[in-house]
Amino acid sequence: MQVVLTKDVKGTGKANTVITVKDGYALNYLIARKLAIPATGATLKQAELRQKQVAAKGELDAKLIGERLVALAEEKIEFVKKANELNHLYDGVDAKEIAEKAGLPEDSIRIERPFKELGTFDVPVSFGEQFGKLTIVISAE
């Protein structure tokens, strides 16, 4: 059975793609959970239109993020947090906080774990085929 995915489904496909799956999987799982709709002429056209829109938005986002990365390479982002006498933070600085202050998507920040100490750190950033880094400074209150 052919269906059009309405959301990303891990191991199956991305949103707005047309896939062929077994009838039971389509009816009992994908369609029942509103993860897909049956592929008809109208839904195929809508899916194709949505794919074009997503691709255009992705290109625009990539361009804007590239410009933002160039601007961030020259400046430092500062965080002021509470720390103990050993310079360890009570609350770490994670990818979400860095992304908010930098104006980037959270999934573009590539850190393994939150920063828990005072200091200056280089944070790798990647979005699609664009790579860069930004510098953060964590100081005590």
pLDDT digits (tens, 9 = 90+) for 2-37: 999 999 999 999 888 899 999 999 999 999 999 999
Asked whether residue 85 falls in the same domain as residue 18, the answer is no
Distance CA 37, CA 44 (A): 10
The pLDDT score that the predictor gives to residue 5 is 93
Position 109 confidence tier, pLDDT thresholds 50, 70, 90: confident
Which of helix, strand or coil describes residue 87? coil
Asked whether residue 49 falls in the same domain as residue 84, the answer is no
pLDDT of 130 higher than 80: no
CATH assignment at residue 7: 3.40.5.10
The pLDDT score that the predictor gives to residue 26 is 93
Asked whether residue 36 falls in the same domain as residue 72, the answer is no
Question: 65 CB contacts (<8 Å, ≥6 apart)?
Answer: 104, 105, 108, 127, 130
Asked whether residue 15 falls in the same domain as residue 46, the answer is yes
> Which residue's structure tokens are 């109208």?
42
User: Looking at 28, 45, 64, which one is the last position of a domain?
Assistant: 64
pLDDT of 129 higher than 80: no
The pLDDT score that the predictor gives to residue 132 is 82
- Split into its structural domains, the chain has a count of 2
pLDDT of 38 higher than 80: yes
pLDDT digits (tens, 9 = 90+) for 44-94: 898 889 888 888 887 777 777 777 777 777 888 899 999 999 989 998 899
The pLDDT score that the predictor gives to residue 141 is 85
Counting Cα atoms < 13 Å in the Cβ hemisphere of 41 gives 0
Asked whether residue 71 falls in the same domain as residue 128, the answer is yes
Whole domain around residue 130: which residue ranges? 65-140
